[in-house]
Amino acid sequence: MITLEGVSKVFTSHGQQVCAVDDVSFDVAEGELVVLIGPSGSGKTTTMRMINRLETISSGRIMVNGRDLRSLDVVELRRGIGYVIQQGGLFPHFTVADNVSVVPRLLGWSGDRRRQRAHELLDLVGLPPDRFADRYPRQLSGGQQQRVGVARALAADPPIILMDEPFGAVDPITRKQLQRELRRIQAAVQKTIVFVTHDIGEAFLLGDRIVLMSDGRVVQDATPADLLRHPADPFVTAFIGEDRGVRSLQFTLLGEIAEPGPADTRANGVALPGSLTIIEAARELGKRGPGAGAGFWISDEEDQPTGYLSYQRFAAVLGDTIAGDHTAEHASEGTDGIPH
Partner 1 sequence: MGYLIEHPDRVFELTKQHVELVAISVAFAMLIGIPVGVLITRLRWLEGPIIGTAGILYTVPSLALFAIMIPYTGLGRTTVVVALALYSLLAIVRNTVAGIDGVPPAALDAARGMGMTGRQRLFIIELPLALPVILAGVRIATVAAIGIATVAAVVGVGGLGRLIFDGMRTLNTDRILAGAIVSSLLALLADWGLAWLGGYLRRDIALARLER
Site residues (vs partner 1, CB under 8 A): 52, 54, 74-81, 83, 85-94, 98, 102-103, 105-106, 108, 149, 152, 162
Nearer to partner 1, 76 or 325 (CB): 76
User: CA-based diameter of the chain, in Å?
Assistant: 76
In sequence order, the 6+-apart residues with CB closer than 8 A to the CB of 51 are: 2, 4, 62, 64, 69, 81, 160, 162, 194
In whole angstroms, the minimum distance from the beta carbon of 300 to partner 1 comes to 45
The Cα–Cα gap between 51 and 69 comes to: 8
In whole angstroms, the minimum distance from the beta carbon of 309 to partner 1 comes to 50
Parallel, antiparallel, or unpaired for β 209-214 and 192-197? unpaired
The Cα–Cα gap between 303 and 312 comes to: 23
Nearer to partner 1, 72 or 271 (CB): 72
The Cα–Cα gap between 10 and 210 comes to: 24
In whole angstroms, the minimum distance from the beta carbon of 213 to partner 1 comes to 21
CA angle 122, 126, 129 (to 5 degrees): 40
Nearer to partner 1, 33 or 103 (CB): 103
In whole angstroms, the minimum distance from the beta carbon of 28 to partner 1 comes to 17
In whole angstroms, the minimum distance from the beta carbon of 100 to partner 1 comes to 11
Nearer to partner 1, 109 or 311 (CB): 109
The Cα–Cα gap between 34 and 51 comes to: 13
Nearer to partner 1, 170 or 219 (CB): 170
